[in-house]
Amino acid sequence: MKNMKKYLLSIALLVTVCISAQAQFSLGIKGGVNYSTINTDNLKSSSVAGYQAGLFARIGGSFYLQPEMYVSSTGGSFNSDDNSYSAHVRFTNLNVPLLLGAKFGPESLNFRIMAGPIYTSILSNNFSNTINAAYDDFGHYRNSTLGYQAGAGVDIGPITADLRYEGNLTDINPDFGQRQNLWALSVGFKFF
């Protein structure tokens, strides 16, 4: 009988921990738009609109860890001061951010802030320019970069929305000091 009480108490404790852990974990999908710019030495640059779509998980309560994985489209356009040279590049990326955050308010409506590193693997790029020989020097892009994200968001029940800034810690093209940065707006849905 004494062993039975220990087993029942252990099972009750295990069930309580599992229920608590599940309440502190959510998984969802997200999608949105971004506006990216590649800053380049000695050239004027302009922003390009892109997309992002993928998955996220949120682990924790008031303070949380949010790993994500999503595909995105980014890029930039460049022009020389005298408009004798112009180029356009588009990237398809696999992004893996790992964000630390804090949320404020009740579960049904809370506000969040978050920041953390992001690893970006470039799956493909499409580079076009007005001078074909420029690709030999200008189009040498890295296969991956390391950056950071910081932003804010809101959760309304299972719906979540984020606005984030992303900057790069590494040059996407070290030969010309090209760094990509972007603003992203996304909306997601938490399954549980």
pTM for this predicted structure: 0.81
| Distance separating alpha carbons of residues 118 and 164, to the nearest angstrom | 12
Report whether 52 contacts 83 (CB < 8 A). Answer: no
Radius of gyration of the chain (CA): 22
* pLDDT of the residue at 96: 96
* pLDDT of the residue at 2: 55
* pLDDT of the residue at 16: 46
Q: Which pLDDT band holds residue 87 (cuts at 50, 70, 90)?
A: confident
Task: Considering only residues 129 and 21, tell me which one the structure prediction assigns the higher pLDDT.
Answer: 129
For the chain, the average pLDDT equals 83
* pLDDT of the residue at 86: 76
Of all residues in the chain, the percent with pLDDT exceeding 90 is: 52
Taking residues 152-163, report their average pLDDT. 96
Per-residue pLDDT tens digits for 126-157: 877 765 555 555 667 888 999 999 999 999 99
* pLDDT of the residue at 46: 80
Highest-scoring range by mean pLDDT, 12-21, 35-44, 76-85, 116-125: 116-125
* pLDDT of the residue at 108: 87
| Distance separating alpha carbons of residues 172 and 121, to the nearest angstrom | 11
Task: Considering only residues 108 and 185, tell me which one the structure prediction assigns the higher pLDDT.
Answer: 185
Sign, CA torsion 178/37/64/68: negative
* pLDDT of the residue at 63: 94
| Distance separating alpha carbons of residues 74 and 96, to the nearest angstrom | 15
Is the pLDDT confidence value at 18 over 90? no
Per-residue pLDDT tens digits for 38-74: 877 667 778 899 999 999 999 999 999 999 999 999 9
CB 161: neighbour CB atoms within 10 A? 16
